[in-house]
């Protein structure tokens, strides 16, 4: 049980596996007015940057669940580096269907709502671990500009235009699920650039070192087309944000 290699190669230098800069992640932590001892659950926690930095900066505790063995190793190393290994724990496992043993104060899934079959299913999943009055964090794409053709839809990593919503519709969807949106921090084009462009450098450096690897042809094909596709389609059409929710 692990992520395909191409995913870990593409984001090998990333600490945040979404179009969020460290500054935006820190802004979100401050905006939530986190207090020491806040108990968090982070499903699909990646390299653990959110839990580790918030443990350092706000005194939270928590557990991250992720399917990537590389991500779990990085998260544990980051916790040790920041001196918070006694506050946060990282478990290798499938976050789909995971429910905390006891209710938590903060339940999050940042950019991986596929674990619940989409935003609605992930809200329901996280709600099963959240105490009454707790905070839920959902990281989700949305359309900045609605695509006019299927080519644009697919270039933005969707199968259908309906896979993502415009920002007002996404916010209203959370309301129909019984939650108030109480905070949000949105990616901008610069943070998208930092996320995507760093992938290209990772791929190129890996390819230079591993020209005969079985993945070399796949990496070369991606590196040849990804920058232009991003600039033509994704950068203009796709937004992303983290939304803080509280049950009504």
**pLDDT computed for residue 53 by the predictor:** 98
Query: Which residues of the chain carry a pLDDT beneath 70?
Result: none
**pLDDT computed for residue 34 by the predictor:** 96
Contact status, residue 32 vs residue 38, Cβ threshold 8 Å: no
The per-residue pLDDT for range 124-180, each reduced to its tens digit, is: 999 999 999 999 999 999 999 999 999 999 999 999 999 999 999 999 999 999 999
208 class by beta-carbon count within 10 Å (0-12 exposed, 13-18 middle, 19+ buried): exposed
**pLDDT computed for residue 1 by the predictor:** 78
DSSP-assigned letters across all residues of 140-187:
EEEESS--SSHHHHHHTT-SSGGGS-BHHHHHHHHHHTTEEEEEEEE-
Q: What value, to the nearest 5°, has the Cα angle with vertex 245 and ends 244 and 248?
A: 160
All domains of the chain in start order, with CATH: 5-247 (3.40.50.150)
**pLDDT computed for residue 119 by the predictor:** 94
Q: pTM for the whole thing?
A: 0.95
**pLDDT computed for residue 55 by the predictor:** 98
**pLDDT computed for residue 2 by the predictor:** 83
């Amino acid at each position: 049980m692990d992520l395909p290699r191409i995913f870990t190669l593409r984001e090998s230098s990333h600490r945040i596996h979404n179009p969020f800069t460290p500054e935006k992640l820190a802004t979100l932590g401050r905006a939530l007015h986190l207090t020491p001892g806040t108990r968090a659950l982070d499903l699909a926690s990646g390299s653990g940057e959110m839990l580790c930095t918030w443990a350092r900066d706000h005194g939270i505790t928590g557990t991250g669940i992720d399917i990537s063995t590389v991500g779990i190793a990085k998260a544990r190393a980051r916790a040790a580096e920041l001196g918070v290994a006694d506050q946060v724990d990282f478990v290798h496992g499938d976050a789909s269907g995971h429910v905390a043993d006891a209710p938590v104060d903060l339940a999050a899934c940042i950019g991986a709502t596929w674990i619940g079959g989409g935003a609605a299913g992930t809200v329901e999943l996280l709600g099963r671990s959240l105490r009454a009055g707790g905070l839920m964090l959902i990281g989700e794409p949305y359309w900045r500009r609605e695509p006019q053709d299927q080519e644009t839809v697919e270039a933005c990593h969707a199968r259908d235009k309906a896979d993502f919503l415009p920002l007002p519709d996404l916010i209203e969807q959370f309301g129909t699920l019984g939650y108030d949106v109480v905070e949000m921090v949105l990616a901008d084009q610069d943070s998208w650039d930092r996320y995507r462009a760093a992938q290209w450098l990772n791929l190129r450096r890996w390819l230079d070192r591993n020209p005969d690897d079985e993945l070399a042809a796949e990496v070369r094909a991606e590196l040849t087309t990804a920058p232009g596709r991003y600039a033509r389609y994704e950068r203009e059409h796709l937004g992303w944000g983290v939304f803080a929710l509280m049950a009504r």
